[in-house]
Amino acid sequence: MRNIITALGIALLLSGVNYSQNIDQSPGSPKTKIEAFQARTGVVIIQGFSEVGSVRGLYVTSVTVKAKEFLDAASGRKEFGITVEVKDNSGRIERENTSWVDYDEIESLLKGLDYIAKVDRSVTQLANFQADFRTKGDLGLSVFSSRDENLLAVKSGRIGAATAYFKFEDISNVRGLLASAKEQIDKIRGTAGK
């Protein structure tokens, strides 16, 4: 009996080792055009960037927005977008994650934020609510009820995500950073005011 248990234990142990060797540990494929553009190999990519600003949130959290421009030196092709870096230093483990947003997705991001900012408890007869907007690059914006007030959560990533929390009245500060980043890109693209 002892030999059977030992053999089963070894078989289970070895099957676990074999399984762990087959897990794909390579990073996922790029979800946005700017991620894919800057990740290309065998070409010179020139990156321009400006930090638009940061907003401090509740619980030792923050959001930083950067405007980005990528240029393929050989072809002259360009891609534009923004990054949203979320830091959460509220717990024992500090979390930081960055989401990429393509230029052509910024307008819908702003409209999505405007929409969820208008949502309140009247949308449901239940005790609480949550309204979400998500981009291709795993940037999530949520307005939700919390006790007697509404809060904004800005989440970057899925696994190992970082989330920053803001009082409802700070939504305009977060929106301002996103809008300013779009304005900076519009100026260098020559599309300001169009």
Confidence class for position 29, pLDDT limits 50, 70, 90? confident
Contact 138, 130 (CB under 8 A): no
Q: Residue 133 class from Cβ within 10 Å (0-12 exposed, 13-18 middle, 19+ buried)?
A: middle
Q: How many residues does the chain have?
A: 194
Which of 160 and 164 is assigned the larger pLDDT?
Answer: 164
State how far the Cα of 116 lies from the Cα of 132, in Å rounded to an integer.
Answer: 7
Share of the chain above pLDDT 70, in %: 84
Task: Yes or no: say if 60 and 93 are a contact pair by the CB < 8 Å rule.
Answer: no
Task: Work out the burial of residue 35: count CB atoms within 10 Å of its CB; fewer than 13 is exposed, 13-18 middle, 19 or more buried.
Answer: buried
- Per the model's pLDDT, the better-predicted residue between 4 and 87 turns out to be 87
* Class of the CATH-defined domain 40-189: alpha beta
In angstroms, the CA 158 to CA 99 distance is: 10
Domain boundaries, the chain: 40-189
- How many helices (H) and strands (E) in the chain? 4, 8
Quick one: tokens of 86?
């979320």
